Structure 1
C-alpha cells in the first residue's frame, strides 16, 4: 500500500512537477482550492501527510493548516509547508508543532521524497500503536492490520474498534459507544449502529478476536471461544 499524500497548491505547474517526480513513491491527491481541500478532510479522508503551499488565494497555507488541525477528522499526520518564500518569520510561524515541517521549494524534488518519508516515520514514533493479539491499530494512519495483513476499515469502524479494545472483555452499552465515537450531539439510529458493528465483525473474521452482541446489554470485544 502506497503512502498517501494530499498536496494543495494553486499553481498547476508546481503540481505537475510534484506529480512527475513523486507519483511513483506516493499515492497523491491534489487540490488547487484550499476550501475544497478542507472539504476532503471534512469528508473523513485520511492521509499520511499533507503538503501545503503557503501563498494561496482565499486562504493561506498557514490558515488552512490551522483549520485542518482543528478538524475532528484530522489524524495528526505531518503537515509540510512547501514555499518559495524563505522568510524566517514565515518559517517560524509554520513550525508551531512537532508534526509540522517547512521545506523550501528550492529543494530538489527527489530530495522531497526522502524528507517526506522521514517526517512521516518520525511522526509515527510520537503516536503509539495499539496491539491486541493478532490485531495492530495504527492510530496516526487509522489503519488496521490482522496477522500482518492490511484490512480496509472506515474511520467510524476504526473509532469503534479502538474504544472496544480499550474496554476489552467488558460489555459496553450501545449508548456509551455512540457517545464515545459520535459525541453527545449526534443522533445515530439503531440500524446505523448495528450496520457498523456488523461490518466490523466481518472484517475481524480472520482474527482470534470478535465482537459479541448481548441483547439489552450492549457489545463486547473478546477472544473467540470466550463467549459468556
Structure 2
C-alpha cells in the first residue's frame, strides 16, 4: 500500500479527501499543523505529502523547504486558497512538485496524485544522454556539465519525458497527460511555469550555453541534445 501524508487543518477539506484517497487504495494519515507535518514527513513509509500552504504553527512553504532538504525524493503536492502567480512561483521554489488551488475538483486532484506516484513504478535503469545533460532514471539524478542539479520531482519527470523523445515535437496535451495525469490543465500556466523553471536550472537562459528545450509555437516543445 502506498502511504500518503495529508497536512490540512480544515476538516471540511481533509475528511472527504482522506476518504477519497482511502477509496483509491492509499493509506492516509491526516495532520493538522506544520510542525506535526514536518515530523511525520520524516517517516520513510510516506511516498507523497499533500500539503496545505496555510497551516498553523509552521506554514506549508517552510515545511516544504525543510522536507525537501531532508527527503528530496518525497513527492509534494501543495494545496492553497491563493491563486496568485507569485504564490505559485514561491511554492515551486520551495520544492513543491505540483500545486492545486482551492476549491479543487476531487477527480483532478486524484489524477495529480496518480501522476506524481507513477514515477515510482516500472523505472528502468537508463541514463539518458542529452549532450551536456545526463539523466539517470534509476537514481533520479541529473548532471549538467558533470555537476549535480537539484530538481523537484515534477521538473525531473518533465525533463525525462522530453529527453526520452529527444528531437521529437511533443504536444502540450501529451505532456500534461503523461507528466501531470490530465490534459484538463491545458488552459492553466502550470506547464509554462515548469518549463520556465526547468530552462533556468539547466542553463537554457544563458547566452553562452546551448538551448535544449525549444518551443514549437502552436504545438508544444522539443528537446534538442
* TM-score for both structures, normalised by structure 1: 0.49
Computing the radius of gyration from Cα coordinates, the structure with the larger value is 1
* TM-score for both structures, normalised by structure 2: 0.50
